[in-house]
Chain A
Amino acid sequence: MLKAHLPALVIIIPLICAALCVLLRRKDWAFTVALLATWASFAGSCLLLVRAMNEGVISYEMGGWPPPFGIELRVDALNVYLLIIVSGIGSVVAPYARNSLLLEYVEDRAYMFYSAYLLCLCGLMGVSITGDAFNLFVFLEISSLSSYVLIALGFDRRALTAAYQYLVMGTIGATFIVIAIGLLYQATGSLNMVDISERLPKAGYGNTTVIAAFAFLVVGAALKIALFPLHQWLPNAYTHAPSTVSAFLAATATKVSVYILLRFVFTVFGVRFSFEILPTATPFLILAILAMFLPSIVACFQTNVKRVLAYSSVAQIGYMILGLGLVSVAGLTASIVHMFNHALMKGALFLVLGCIFYRIGSCHIDRMAGIARRMPWTMAAFVGGGLSLIGIPLTAGFISKWYLILAALDKGWWYLAVLIVISSLIAIIYLWRVIEAAYFREPPDDLKEVSEAPLNLLVPAWILVLANFYFGIDTSISVGVAEMAAKALMGAG
């Protein structure tokens, strides 16, 4: 009974618990509810993964209305992969929130934070699981609105302007997506994604309404993804948001937006329309290569380590779009694996920065001089996450770059493989600046009293760091599922 409703439960549990947090009001109760909700959601996603692997695509009719009339929740390899990323990161970050400075800062309104956190989780899970185009927009807005709130909770007043900027850009992006959905509805008369894809050939690929819908969708999704050069909102938002929020959003929000792009471009519009009739691949490749380099170079000149990582996130999105632009099963596998691996490494690195911020109240490179002597475990975690970000063998980051390079060579584009390696070398430069400061500079006097971060901050960070190494060695799950998803996406065209 309960098992049949699993697809609905993974999004409804966080939604109801978000309301419950507000009703309970007590800080500890709200924390317990939030923790249990994220873990339940993660457990549900894991069960769905097992079921989707055994039984194939799971289709759930919301309220008993069969698709295409009712809202369909659809779980295939790609959906469940995203569910695992979002709920997995959500459940590692949730215990971290309790002790981070954030809650001391908002004090008696801590329950509001948990509520917004769960809403954001619910929205991101909803986008990943829904099979209805308009429903996707609604969930996207649930997650966006709550993430604006979460970012605005930062300690610095610049968090407010960052949240405002994100709100304006994010709303424009979401509105573009809703225009695209409207135009698609106009052309096909359906909102169910699978149904739209079946009706599109009848509407005619040369139909200007469909082409306009495609353009609006790609630009809107690119804004949400922070694809270079539409990334202006991201560095500020991630830099000034509270550490917990940066870690959660950096690991999940942009991935879910990449999913929207993949789902629409490959499943709804189909490979034939997106890449054969329209010349979409080349612009994607050019933007991806620019994104791999320019933000990485900017990252080398930042003094705030959070900002370094934020720019690095923009660069990493370049790799995901590069895989998409290759339009092959191998390329898509690399993109999808990188969504997973990047969530692990950026989540880990932002959590580590949260530990440092907790002790010294700053993330500036100069303030971090010699900090490795005071916080050895924290900095070791940073090095671990950093190795994965660069793509050293035996880490998760290596796996995604390996597959990306293979996909490029598969097409015979060796120069692309060279560019991927060179851009990884830039990552060494910006990470080395941090490591050099932390390990080889003399600590200033006021750093004497700084001690290791508390365990409940350190443990979540290390869980993600160890996951980076685990998924760098055993890739049967991460690559296996990604490959299935990639094949399904390419086959749908």
Chain B
Amino acid sequence: MADFEGLYNYWIVIVLAMAGLYIVIARGNLIKKLVGLNVFQASVFVLYISFSKVSGGTAPILDKGIDVYSNPLPHVLILTAIVVGVATTALGLALVVRIRKEYGTIEEDDIHSQDESM
């Protein structure tokens, strides 16, 4: 049980990742798919932040009396990954707007049947 609690963050990562992927696969609504993708990406952010934590460490600020601090590098990496995620979401939403204009729907099944009937 102690193991389970010690790995609490990683359980959250797995739950978020699976929930996100499930939404991407199971939902037909294009916006919901993007939301799923975001949840999936968020799980990776949590993963990076979790393993950068050093027990008993504080924020990485150079000051007197602070010698143990968390690893700041993954934080920086994730900042970059968040920017990439934002760009992906923005582009995805822009595509959905164009798809809605052209097809009049954002449901995957409807789009598919419109393409089939052409």
Contact = CB atoms under 8 A, between A and B. Distances in A.
Question: Are the chains A and B members of one assembly?
Answer: yes
Contacts of A167: 88, 91-92, 95
B115 interface: yes
A62 B41 CA distance: 28
B19 interface: no
Contact of A168 (B37, B48, B74, B102): B37
Contact of A160 (B40, B74, B102): B102
Chain B binding surface SS class = helix
Interface stretch (B1-9, B59-67, B77-85): B77-85
A164 B30 contact: yes
Contacts, number: 67
Nearest to A134: B77
Bin the interface of chain A by size.
Answer: 20 to 34
Contacts of A160: 95, 98-99, 102
Contacts of B95: 148, 152, 160, 163-164, 167
A178 B40 contact: no
A300 B36 CA distance: 36
Q: Which of A137, A175, A185 has the most CB of B within 10 A?
A: A175
Contact of A182 (B34, B37, B51): B51
A19 interface: no
Given A158-B115, A167-B95, A138 B80 contact: yes
Nearest to A189: B71
Nearest to B81: A178
B11 interface: no
Interface string B35-60: 00100110010011001000000000
B99 A161 contact: yes
Contacts of B33: 168
A285 interface: no
Interface in A137-178: 137-138, 141, 145, 148-149, 152, 157-158, 160-161, 163-164, 167-168, 171-172, 175, 178
B22 interface: no
Contact of B111 (A141, A161, A171): A161
B18 interface: no
A426 interface: no
A145 B91 contact: yes
Contacts of A158: 115
Given A161-B115, A168-B37, A179 B47 contact: yes
Contacts of A161: 99, 111, 115
A238 to B, nearest CB: 16
A208 interface: no
A186 B30 CA distance: 34
Nearest to A182: B48
Given A138-B80, A175-B41, A164 B92 contact: yes
Instruction: List the 5 shortest-distance A-B pairs measured between CB atoms, nearest first.
Output: A157-B102, A141-B84, A186-B51, A164-B95, A160-B99
9 contacts: A141-B84, A148-B95, A164-B96, A167-B88, A168-B34, A175-B41, A182-B48, A182-B51, A182-B77
Interface of B: 21, 24, 30, 33-34, 37, 40-41, 44, 47-48, 51, 73-74, 77, 80-81, 84, 87-88, 91-92, 95-96, 98-99, 102-103, 111, 115
